[in-house]
Amino acid sequence: MKNSDIKALTAAELQEKIAAEKEALRKMQFAHQVTAIENPMKLRESRKLVARLQTELRAKELQK
């Protein structure tokens, strides 16, 4: 997801997206612990996406 796409989301959409990405990350981490996933770099990408979403949500909260 591009930063311009993230900035276009509303606070409610950001919260929904964060929840969905955290759930996907949790499932991916569990799958990686059971058997190594094909591309472990996806874990890092997912963590960074969650962080970018949380950063943008916090920025929107501070603007209010």
Is residue 1 predicted with pLDDT exceeding 90? no
Q: What is the pLDDT of residues 22-44, one digit of tens each?
A: 999 999 999 999 999 999 999 99
Q: Indicate the pTM of the whole model.
A: 0.90
Burial of 9 (C-beta count, 10 Å sphere; 0-12/13-18/19+)? middle
Whole-number Å distance between alpha carbons of 31 and 11: 30
Neighbours of 63 (CB within 10 A): 7
- The domains located in the chain, with CATH, are 3-59 (1.10.287)
Helices 11-34 and 41-63 meet at what angle, rounded to 10?
160
The confidence band for 61, taking pLDDT boundaries of 50, 70 and 90, is very high
Mean pLDDT score, 32-57: 95
